[in-house]
Structure 1
Amino acid sequence: MEQMEQMEPEAQKAAVRRYGPQEIAAWLVIVVLVTLIVKTLSFIFIPLSVAVLVFFAVGMPMEFLRRFGVPGWLRILLVVSFILDALYWVGGLLQANIMEFVGQLPVFTQKLSEYAAIELQSYGVTAEQGKEILDAFVGNMDGKKMEPLGSFLHAAGGSFFQFIGNLVWVVLFLIFMLAERDGMENRLHNAFGQRRAEKIIKVGGRISQSIEEYLGLKTLISLLAGVLTSLALWLFGVQFALLWGVLAFLLNFIPNVGALLATVPPVLMALFQSGSPGFALLAASVLVAIHFVVGNYLEPKIMGRGLNLSPLVVLFALIFWGWMWGGVGMLLAVPLTAAFNIAMEEYDPSMPLAKMISAE
């Protein structure tokens, strides 16, 4: 017992010596270099990151098919075909919604300005001052103004085949990663030997299983939230119900603020269409109820735990990945950060950092 007590201070001193100023400075230099490389080569890393997230998200259906004895090549064909078919049909309808919305955007912008001017006057703020506040808020990290919503939607509403073309790299990365999935253990044994390979496989298996479960279940829950949102808005007769449902699906990956951000646009649309605050309030109540039930009841029951990320970490993740990759980076920010956090929780040396950025 006394020997163990003597060993603990020695281990702590060794850890301090191991992570001295020089080591910390070296790690900071590595982090900066990696950040610059990832930002510079964003045309490669963006589709690669999307493919990695999809790879983990489809891990559960891939394993389900494997248990039924479906060959590996057929599993890949079925999963990739399903994803492409879903993207083609939903993407085609979504693009039509976006183009129609872009056509009506000047009218919506004018109405929003009128509503905002009325509200700002009650606080003694002019419309010009409100516009300055908004421009300052949406300014990006390098001091330039972000693209207006209209420009972004015009780009998103371009050629549908251009949209499909942008997914080619994602699909290629995904196919090769799925093809390498089954043969990875043999390669690790050949490269590192039996003992070291088993240790790597054990740790990697825990990380992979945790990320697959989180992303797989989170994708299903987000899909449910998106479908219910579209269905509710369609029953209310709100325009662009599919567009708002897809927005709810994407923003459901962002905790705390995602549900709020997904609720505001369709509620404004309901207000613009009807001109009735009561109707808009009713639509907002239904959407809030959907997100509350899905996020506060179903998700904890199904997943067991949430992202376990500090709200401050989520905010910094949105800012960092938005600076790195723009709008796509903001959509990928929380899933990527959550995946890194889960991986760090399963790896002892990075456990302290995982505890620091967790919500607990």
Structure 2
Amino acid sequence: MDAPSAVRGQRSNGLDDTPLRRDPWAFATQLALIGIFILLFIGFLQLARFVFLPVVAAAVIGILMGPISDRAAARGVPQPLSALLLVLLLVGILSLLILVLAAPVSDWVGKAPEIGARLKDKLWLLDYPIQAMRDLRDVLNPGGDHSAPLDFGISNLIQPALGLLTPAIGFVTPAIGQLLIFLGTLFFFVSARVQLRRGIVLLLPNGDARLRGLRVIHDAEANLTAYFATVSVIYFAEGVLVALASSIIGLPNAVAWGALTFVLSFIPYLGPGAVIIILFSVGVIHFPSITHALIAPIVYIVMATVEGNFITPAVVGRRLTLTPLAVFLSLVFWAWLWGPIGAFLATPLLTIGLVVAGQLFPSDKPVLPE
């Protein structure tokens, strides 16, 4: 067998030379450079969050508004006018949420010391497990410094809920500078999205790359819009059901808890957890017994379980269903990088990233007939 045939035989057998086999140090250097670039880019996003955070949020919201703008343009409405109307509509929705949530939230936050004392009196059953934890600490670490008491007080249970609630309200009431950047970027993004798409595609080198770029942009918009339009309707229905259940049970400010459920549902895992803690805390304050206070959280847990395991997968479909691990890791990363608004953007950015990765690195697996 001649040398070229041998080489072809090795390649056909999957023994083709890889960068690692040719020069492992060069391959390691490339990986190191890529890793350094990623770390520097993450640091840059953190340092420039004042500008990048509202810009990215505006781009995500603008993608969701894109189909509405396209339908308005098809009926003869100029894109700048439709963009202005959509921005005003968003401002109106945010103002309505602030109006509904501001009074009850500020009232409950102002009563935090009184609420903590009342919760401590009602949840006296927690004294026994707390004392058991102290005894376990003494057994496991008998020589340690126990000057600082092991505090599992009620204030520590309320604080995480308030810590999630305050940023959630802060999402709709950002700083003036970031708000102006967000609204300005959103208006120009929606009004010039067609020209922006054309400009991005023209930057690509050849016809195949431009065709793939158009496919990436189209699929990202379609998937993101379909997913969030669907879950928005589901979360709105969930908020309405929470408001109705709270009113029937007898919780005060039922509309506020329904609106808060709708807002926090867009934050995976942390949002529903905060809703459960808030409903339980309000129930403990308002009702005379713990059993009565558990009704609202149990109703919400049942609704969230049915929604997450049956309704959303059935309505959204397998193509748009995100892996829970990927959603969780995306939530951790963006919440760490950009705080509560980053947690809100975690799922949209993950959806866009998966669509782009699917187009740039298509799967070669055969499609099996159903």
Contact 1:250–1:331 (CA under 8 A) maintained in structure 2: no
Question: Alignment partner for residue 167 of structure 1, among 150, 163, 179?
Answer: 179
Deviation at 1:155, TM superposition (A): 8.3
1:347 correspondence with 2:360 = yes
Letter in 2 for 1:96: A
Question: Alignment partner for residue 225 of structure 2, among 191, 194, 212?
Answer: 212
Contact 2:50–2:178 (CA under 8 A) maintained in structure 1: no
Contact 1:211–1:342 (CA under 8 A) maintained in structure 2: no
2:16 and 2:218 map into 1 onto residues whose CA distance is 28
2:344 and 2:14 map into 1 onto residues whose CA distance is 44
Which shows bigger deviation, 113-122 or 296-305? Answer: 113-122
1:105 correspondence with 2:112 = yes
Report the TM-score when normalising by structure 2.
0.75
Task: Report 1:102-251 matches (<5 A).
Answer: 102-115=109-122, 118-122=125-129, 124-125=132-133, 128-131=149-152, 166-188=178-200, 190-192=202-204, 195=207, 196-251=209-264
Question: Alignment partner for residue 44 of structure 1, among 43, 51, 56?
Answer: 51
Letter in 1 for 2:150: Q
- Aligned partner of 2:346 in structure 1 is 333
Deviation at 1:156, TM superposition (A): 7.8
1:65 correspondence with 2:79 = no
Unmatched 5+ stretches in structure 1: 139-146, 353-360
2:213 and 2:49 map into 1 onto residues whose CA distance is 29
Identity across the alignment (%): 23
Unmatched 5+ stretches in structure 2: 1-7, 135-147, 365-370
Which shows bigger deviation, 339-348 or 25-34? Answer: 339-348
- Aligned partner of 1:30 in structure 2 is 37
Contact 2:201–2:214 (CA under 8 A) maintained in structure 1: no
Question: Alignment partner for residue 312 of structure 2, among 299, 302, 307?
Answer: 299
Which shows bigger deviation, 246-255 or 169-178? Answer: 246-255
* Aligned partner of residue 14 in structure 2, secondary structure: helix
Aligned residues between the structures: 339
Deviation at 1:175, TM superposition (A): 0.9
Which shows bigger deviation, 337-346 or 250-259? Answer: 250-259
1:288 and 1:39 map into 2 onto residues whose CA distance is 35
Deviation at 1:186, TM superposition (A): 3.6
Contact 2:167–2:340 (CA under 8 A) maintained in structure 1: no
Deviation at 1:7, TM superposition (A): 4.5
2:265 and 2:160 map into 1 onto residues whose CA distance is 23
Letter in 2 for 1:104: K
- Aligned partner of 1:273 in structure 2 is 286
Higher relative contact order (CA 8 A, sep 6+): 2
Deviations 1:140-193 (A, max 9, x none): xxxxxxx976688678879x9876775322111111111221113442465446
**Alpha carbon RMSD of aligned pairs, Å?**
3.9
Deviations 1:182-231 (A, max 9, x none): 11344246544661433321232223322222233223322332232223
- Aligned partner of 1:263 in structure 2 is 276
* Aligned partner of residue 58 in structure 1, secondary structure: helix
2:80 and 2:60 map into 1 onto residues whose CA distance is 20
Deviation at 1:36, TM superposition (A): 0.6
- Aligned partner of 2:142 in structure 1 is none
Contact 1:98–1:157 (CA under 8 A) maintained in structure 2: no
Change (3 A) 1:335 1:133: farther
2:124 and 2:17 map into 1 onto residues whose CA distance is 61
Change (3 A) 1:152 1:164: farther
* Aligned partner of residue 252 in structure 2, secondary structure: coil
Change (3 A) 1:156 1:54: closer
Deviations 1:275-323 (A, max 9, x none): 2233223323332333234333331232113542243x44443333333
Question: Alignment partner for residue 14 of structure 2, among 9, 12, 15?
Answer: 9
Deviations 1:29-58 (A, max 9, x none): 111001111111111122122212212222
2:16 and 2:217 map into 1 onto residues whose CA distance is 26
Report the TM-score when normalising by structure 1.
0.77
Deviation at 1:8, TM superposition (A): 7.0
2:174 and 2:269 map into 1 onto residues whose CA distance is 33
Change (3 A) 1:190 1:328: closer
Change (3 A) 1:107 1:245: same
1:346 and 1:79 map into 2 onto residues whose CA distance is 30
